[in-house]
Amino acid sequence: MRIVLVLGAGGSDGGQFIDGALAQLRTSTGFDAAHADLIIGTSVGAFRAGAVGPPVIGTAHVATTLRYLAEPPPTDRWPDRMAGQLRVAAGRLLARFVPRSRPAPTWDTPSGPYHPGARVVSVDLDRRHRVEHVLERARDPPATIRASAAVPFAFGSVLLGDARHADGAVWSPTSADLAAAVVTADGPPPVVVVIAPMVPVVGGSVVARLHRRQLRAELARLPTDAAVVVIGPGRGRRDETRTSAAGAAAVRRLDSVRGTGGRPSR
């Protein structure tokens, strides 16, 4: 597997951030979401994953260009692991108290055709565990996408089969660790691109800092030869960081630090 794209949670503002980041990546590196072999979407990221469409063949040159923006995976550190475990435990606890009375969301969702590598993440509230859905194989793909974005207490859960499902961000704002589960040891070193509207690169609230540690713990599971591109908002208020302009600025910031126009800086 050559390229993995992770699209994180962040509400409607986070969707704008994702759009801006993808547009700037296309300008800077030629990368389009359809170049990815695997797309993991959570919450609003699930909507974006469902809208990607059929894959684009021939991605070797794009993967090479993306590497100029990348870093190795973070090292495995116990504070990050502990933060990730705390975040998951809090999500499981929250799942116990999600009310059944609120109506399920009825948003319009992408109806396909779906990218064959598109997967979306939800949380099974009854069994209190995370579920990864392959959109092409889902019984009801639009409902599956809505389930991934059904924020507890704001919206009701979505019934998938015999279980109630809610926003995948209850478990993790990115679920980037799912990339490690599918990367094969015998293929080329993967490039993992994470667009994380809820994970600022510096500073942020206590919850944002917890998310950042959780993301590092998830990415530490990748092979050491993987290349990781993390695109998150800078320091600032929410209305200044979760916009399409902020998403584009986050990519330009990476480009100025690690490469210029998709070329090595030295």
- pLDDT tens, 223-263? 999 999 999 998 655 555 678 999 999 999 888 877 644 44
Scored b (16 or more CB within 10 A) or e, 59-92 reads beebbebbbbbbeebbeeeeebbebbeebbeebb
Q: Which residue in the block uniquely carries the two structure tokens 């990115």?
A: 174
Confidence of residue 186 (pLDDT cuts 50, 70, 90): low
Query: Could you give the count of Cα atoms lying within 13 Å of 14 in the half-sphere of its Cβ?
Result: 25
Contact 193, 6 (CB under 8 A): yes
Confidence of residue 266 (pLDDT cuts 50, 70, 90): very low
- Looking at the DSSP bridge assignments, the partners of residue 193 are 5, 229
Q: Where are the alpha helices (DSSP H) in 110-265?
A: 141-148, 177-182, 206-219, 238-241, 244-258
User: Average pLDDT in the 105-127 region?
Assistant: 93
Q: 118: which DSSP letter?
A: E
Contact 1, 187 (CB under 8 A): yes
pLDDT of residue 94: 86
- Average pLDDT over all residues of the chain: 89
Nearest to 7 by CA among 157, 115, 143: 115
Encoded amino acid at 166, one letter = A
Distance (Å, whole) CA 152 – CA 95? 8
Contact 33, 48 (CB under 8 A): yes
Phi then psi for 86, rounded to 5 degrees? -65, -45
**CA–centroid distance for 134 within its chain:** 15
User: Average pLDDT in the 75-79 region?
Assistant: 95
Distance (Å, whole) CA 84 – CA 200? 16
Distance (Å, whole) CA 132 – CA 42? 10
Confidence of residue 117 (pLDDT cuts 50, 70, 90): very high
pLDDT of residue 236: 55
pLDDT of residue 183: 76
- Looking at the DSSP bridge assignments, the partners of residue 4 are 38, 192
- Looking at the DSSP bridge assignments, the partners of residue 242 are none
